[in-house]
Amino acid sequence: MLNIRTRVKAAILAFIHPKPIPLMRPVSLGCPTGSEGSLLVGRNALITGAGQNIGRNIALEMAKQGANVYYTDVDATRVGSLGEELKKFKIQSKGFVSDVSKFEEIDSLCRSLCQENIPIDILVNNVGVLIGPYKVTSVEMDIWRKTFDTNVTGPLYLTRQIVAEMTERKLLGSVIFISSIHQWLLHRDISYSASKAALGMVINELAIDLAPYAIRVNGIAPGSVAEEVDSMQRYDKYIPLYNTPINPAYIGRAAVYLASEHYSAYTTGSVLTVDSGLSLYNHFVDRRPPGI
């Protein structure tokens, strides 16, 4: 009788407090092995909207650290161009022409990854649009819907698909959303700002939901970003640090930081701001009368 009671009690406790899911790859607390570019060796990264600017630089920076890079873009020419750039790295890579705002194209992308036995353990939801117009009185609902489909709904649907595979394979995973400082600050574009604010809460909710599976969820909030920065031509007095936009390579390196277990094994539910202090600037300072 005692044995039966003990077993029943153990079963109830196991249901209430399940044991952590065993991981495929243990967290390393030591230094990365190998050369400097070894932080992501053996990892498979999927990066959306990677044909240019921030997405392209995330792909290149992760490739430098040894990750196999799989990526999407709506433009076939940009997909091919990035593929050529990635050939110089000793990694596996493949591009897909895909519109992340469309569920059927996400399904097709995930089927291709599954058929080719490519288990993704780093997902970077980079793709995003800023369409305008700025005022709520003139914004078309089609623009609102397109913005949210691209910036929030599509990335969340893709994340659900990829995370299902991560949990099935018991992978130690990292999901990164490229947000914006305008998830907190006005941009005067209601569709864009609202979509980025929504991403902030998506990151928080997913971080809690996926923590039991050892999948970390974080975000990056860039400020003003430009591929080529000429300090004479692109001077901006509202950017406190250096007075110029940020080269997107630094957003790529922030993504490497959040994806790397060596640096961020205990980081989840965070949004890393990379904006040269732009979000700290009080534009009222330039408009108030002297002496106030």
What are 213-224's pLDDT values in tens digits? 999 999 999 998
Which pLDDT does position 25 carry in this prediction?
A: 47
The least confident of 40-49, 93-102, 218-227, 250-259 is: 218-227
Domains of the chain as residue ranges with CATH: 36-286 (3.40.50.720)
Q: Per-residue pLDDT for 17 more than 70?
A: no
Which pLDDT does position 236 carry in this prediction?
A: 85
Q: Per-residue pLDDT for 1 more than 80?
A: no
Q: Per-residue pLDDT for 289 more than 60?
A: no
Q: Per-residue pLDDT for 7 more than 80?
A: no
Q: Per-residue pLDDT for 71 more than 60?
A: yes
Which pLDDT does position 34 carry in this prediction?
A: 39
Q: Per-residue pLDDT for 131 more than 60?
A: yes
Confidence of residue 3 (pLDDT cuts 50, 70, 90): low
Which pLDDT does position 203 carry in this prediction?
A: 97
Q: Per-residue pLDDT for 14 more than 70?
A: no
Residues 6+ apart with CB under 8 A from 239: 223, 224, 245, 275, 276, 277, 278, 281
What is the pTM (predicted TM-score) of this model?
0.84
Q: Per-residue pLDDT for 15 more than 60?
A: no
Average pLDDT of 175-184? 91
Which pLDDT does position 269 carry in this prediction?
A: 97
Average pLDDT of 55-76? 98
Q: Per-residue pLDDT for 288 more than 50?
A: no
Q: Per-residue pLDDT for 285 more than 80?
A: no
